[in-house]
Chains A and B, each alone.
Chain A
């Protein structure tokens, strides 16, 4: 079959998880690169082994799980939801009530193998409860209904003080450990530095491995879903709901399933977010968080699992990249360097002209504000130049090299 990568002898072969050799090689390479990062094996990748980067990787993996859920709902089933943060919050608080320590609030102190699955199941059930309202409306109406869900959820979280802690104060999540039952010393502690098989690893690295495994499971599940009867029903609803119904796909049933599955993903992601970050305030689960997931799905490329992976890393890493650029520029503006002249114009030092100032107050944007502005602009400019997202960029690169050296 070599040399004819697009030739498939059977439907099963074409519908495989990784249908072509290139994809197989690519997936293995990405996996090897990911696993190698905390061990500092490869020269460029070992930079990311420091905790500050691993924290970002961990967050990307957590966001990836939620993004996969939204991608199933939005990309596969065509239902745009701004309510993802609400379901994440539900999952997070299910986890903290089941797994958290009491400290004056509700907390049962149960082990991870109970609270992690339940953190998915409870939001899924709530998703099924909400679905009858959501199924009746479509398009932008649905977006606004789910937006309402976020605000109602935020109100509930702010007022459920025995679950979520006081407003603006929040509460502690349990640490990421594996216990059989409520014993004192956990079987595996993912959150502390220590040794695994004779290699000393930081707590962040251990968390990274745990999240990598969980994220991988959910990636495979998401990928698999699109190949099943349910996944095809979702796609049919997305493409033309009336035609789908004529063919015997129940619209209500499919949409409810899509909501339940996406809420399950969101809940797991929310629980892990709480556990990994440690302490969260009830206001965390707001519209801005939801918007980030819509951004991930759209920037990555709606309907594709690979897009969700690229999108979540892009959206989580981007503020850090922007920060690095501004820090570099401000160093250049203060000292002498190759781009000092440009940096001097952009950055104001000691009150001279500049768009960005290093002081938090006063005229000129602070660095945090500049990050925000660039973040917003990047979303806008990126989608204008490539409405199909990162996946569209990838398709274009691939098509170019497919016919290389002939342009078409």
Chain B
């Protein structure tokens, strides 16, 4: 399990510390929300819970590093653009490529499995996870970390009194908000409505002339894209030094987020993501002195929160309650 290196020194009063931690928690929550959104969109469209999400996000983060740092594409032809924009273009390129790979995965591995037992499909995604993770791990190199290059500066921060606001956290939150906004807009477009219709009732949607297959592919594409955006921010300081073999495991902690929110709820994914991120950061700070809980307790807090929520609401906070009839 990768631990979260929290490099920011915390000074100031307890209130200022709390504000600092809240911002950290929001940023971490934003990443979990992005990853969880990917899970939920794929789940709503295809009823499949993908376990390859972490591998895809690590792959995308590696692609960003490859495009932005190694090749400097497309920045090398646009030298007069600001660095941030060059990075953004590289990231967009990586996201698009990852989306294409996500669609390809759906077409090759998931489409033939429609109608087969659910857990056979889940197992296939686990197999894919192993394959992608190994290949990406080979490119990264054993024990290596590759930097994605962060135009907002490594560990640069604003200080307002005792409150420390790291640029990376702000960038994370801004990008997450933009992504969610774009997604909300997308769901109101023609294709987005078709997607919602398919998720709501597949047969009725097909009767209206919507190609369910295309919607499945699109869902996987969007899911992969969201995974990559989450992956980029999971692989920058202060959370990690760069893309490593551990980046793939970040998405596993988004599982509690989707369960807390409800597997089939977009709103739930976002709320769940923030709950999990907040819980993890707060536990990491305020419970770190309790040695009885053990080292790295904050990484299991999401699962404990998840169990607590499920005891009260077995379908998560916003999940559709299954109606059971005889």
Q: Is the CB of A383 within 8 A of B294?
A: no
B282 interface hit (Cβ, 8 Å): no
The contact of A369 among B1, B49, B134, B307, by CB within 8 Å, is B134
Scoring B residues 90 to 122 as 1 if CB is less than 8 Å from chain A, else 0, what string do you get? 000000000000000000010011001111111
Q: Is the CB of B303 within 8 A of A156?
A: no
B81 interface hit (Cβ, 8 Å): no
In the complex, the number of residue pairs spanning A and B with C-beta atoms less than 8 Å apart equals 140
Q: Which of B116, B128, B303 has the most CB of A within 10 A?
A: B303
Give the residues in chain B near A148, CB-CB below 8 Å.
Answer: 255-256, 303-304, 306-307
B259 interface hit (Cβ, 8 Å): yes
Query: Closest chain A residue to B294 by CB distance?
Result: A159
Q: Which of B121, B126, B304, B315 has the most CB of A within 10 A?
A: B126
Given contacts A141-B259, A141-B310, A246-B326, whether A291 and B126 have CB atoms under 8 Å apart is yes
The contact of A143 among B1, B49, B314, by CB within 8 Å, is B49
Q: Is the CB of B131 within 8 A of A365?
A: no
Nearest CB in chain A: distance from B242 CB, A:
18
Q: Is the CB of B306 within 8 A of A376?
A: no
- Give residues of chain A (194-244) contacting chain B, Cβ–Cβ below 8 Å: 241-243
Task: State A291–B123 Cα separation when bound (angstroms).
Answer: 8
Query: Closest chain B residue to A385 by CB distance?
Result: B112
Give the residues in chain B near A145, CB-CB below 8 Å.
Answer: 259, 306-307, 310
B11 interface hit (Cβ, 8 Å): no
Query: Closest chain B residue to A139 by CB distance?
Result: B118
Nearest CB in chain B: distance from A299 CB, A:
8
Task: State A334–B278 Cα separation when bound (angstroms).
Answer: 56
- Give residues of chain B (256-281) contacting chain A, Cβ–Cβ below 8 Å: 256, 258-259, 263
The contact of B141 among A143, A295, A361, by CB within 8 Å, is A361
Give the residues in chain A near B123, CB-CB below 8 Å.
Answer: 294-295, 298, 379, 383
A21 interface hit (Cβ, 8 Å): no
Q: Is the CB of B314 within 8 A of A141?
A: yes
Given contacts A137-B314, A144-B255, A365-B135, whether A379 and B117 have CB atoms under 8 Å apart is no
A380 interface hit (Cβ, 8 Å): yes
A162 interface hit (Cβ, 8 Å): no
Query: Closest chain B residue to A246 by CB distance?
Result: B326
B129 interface hit (Cβ, 8 Å): yes
Q: Is the CB of B304 within 8 A of A376?
A: no
B311 interface hit (Cβ, 8 Å): yes
Count of interface residues, chain A, beta-carbon cutoff 8 Å: 49
The contact of B303 among A151, A158, A373, by CB within 8 Å, is A151
Q: Which of A137, A139, A369, A383 has the most CB of B within 10 A?
A: A383
Task: State A25–B295 Cα separation when bound (angstroms).
Answer: 56
Scoring B residues 288 to 319 as 1 if CB is less than 8 Å from chain A, else 0, what string do you get? 00000011110110011011001100111000
Task: State A287–B54 Cα separation when bound (angstroms).
Answer: 14
Nearest CB in chain B: distance from A50 CB, A:
29
Q: Is the CB of B325 within 8 A of A242?
A: yes
Q: Is the CB of A387 within 8 A of B304?
A: no
B159 interface hit (Cβ, 8 Å): no
Given contacts A158-B296, A159-B294, A294-B119, whether A365 and B127 have CB atoms under 8 Å apart is no
Q: Is the CB of B303 within 8 A of A152?
A: yes
Query: Closest chain B residue to A148 by CB distance?
Result: B303
Q: Is the CB of B129 within 8 A of A80?
A: no
Task: State A149–B300 Cα separation when bound (angstroms).
Answer: 10
Given contacts A294-B119, A380-B124, A380-B131, whether A156 and B294 have CB atoms under 8 Å apart is yes
The contact of A384 among B124, B130, B297, B306, by CB within 8 Å, is B124
Q: Is the CB of A379 within 8 A of B126?
A: yes
Task: State A376–B126 Cα separation when bound (angstroms).
Answer: 8
Task: State A368–B123 Cα separation when bound (angstroms).
Answer: 21
The contact of B127 among A242, A246, A287, A376, by CB within 8 Å, is A376
Q: Which of B43, B122, B142 has the most CB of A within 10 A?
A: B122
B190 interface hit (Cβ, 8 Å): no
Task: State A143–B138 Cα separation when bound (angstroms).
Answer: 29
Nearest CB in chain A: distance from B265 CB, A:
13
Task: State A148–B141 Cα separation when bound (angstroms).
Answer: 29
Give the residues in chain B near A383, CB-CB below 8 Å.
Answer: 113, 116, 120-121, 123-124, 127
The contact of B306 among A136, A144, A294, by CB within 8 Å, is A144
A172 interface hit (Cβ, 8 Å): no
Task: State A291–B135 Cα separation when bound (angstroms).
Answer: 19
Give the residues in chain A near B134, CB-CB below 8 Å.
Answer: 365, 369, 372-373, 376
A140 interface hit (Cβ, 8 Å): yes
A360 interface hit (Cβ, 8 Å): yes
Given contacts A148-B307, A366-B138, A379-B123, whether A387 and B117 have CB atoms under 8 Å apart is yes
Q: Is the CB of A158 within 8 A of B307?
A: no
Nearest CB in chain A: distance from B260 CB, A:
10
Task: State A360–B124 Cα separation when bound (angstroms).
Answer: 28
Scoring A residues 130 to 168 as 1 if CB is less than 8 Å from chain B, else 0, what string do you get? 000100111111011101110110111011000000000
Q: Is the CB of A373 within 8 A of B131?
A: yes
Task: State A10–B44 Cα separation when bound (angstroms).
Answer: 48
Give the residues in chain B near A62, CB-CB below 8 Å.
Answer: none
Nearest CB in chain B: distance from A358 CB, A:
14
Q: Is the CB of B124 within 8 A of A133?
A: no
A377 interface hit (Cβ, 8 Å): yes
Task: State A369–B141 Cα separation when bound (angstroms).
Answer: 11
Give the residues in chain A near B304, CB-CB below 8 Å.
Answer: 148, 152
B137 interface hit (Cβ, 8 Å): yes
Scoring B residues 177 to 213 as 1 if CB is less than 8 Å from chain A, else 0, what string do you get? 0000000000000000000000000000000000000
Task: State A165–B181 Cα separation when bound (angstroms).
Answer: 49
Nearest CB in chain B: distance from A166 CB, A:
11
Query: Closest chain A residue to B139 by CB distance?
Result: A363
Q: Is the CB of B295 within 8 A of A159?
A: yes
Task: State A133–B124 Cα separation when bound (angstroms).
Answer: 27
B252 interface hit (Cβ, 8 Å): yes
The contact of A136 among B124, B130, B311, by CB within 8 Å, is B311
Nearest CB in chain A: distance from B146 CB, A:
14
Query: Closest chain B residue to A140 by CB distance?
Result: B49
A302 interface hit (Cβ, 8 Å): yes
A353 interface hit (Cβ, 8 Å): no
The contact of B126 among A137, A295, A360, by CB within 8 Å, is A295
Return 11 A-B CB contacts under 8 Å, by A number.
A144-B259, A147-B252, A148-B306, A158-B294, A298-B123, A373-B130, A373-B134, A375-B127, A376-B127, A379-B127, A384-B113
Extra inter-chain contacts (18) besides given A151-B252, A159-B295, A384-B109, CB under 8 Å: A141-B316, A144-B258, A144-B306, A147-B252, A149-B303, A151-B1, A151-B299, A287-B252, A294-B126, A295-B123, A295-B126, A373-B130, A373-B134, A376-B130, A379-B123, A383-B113, A383-B124, A387-B117
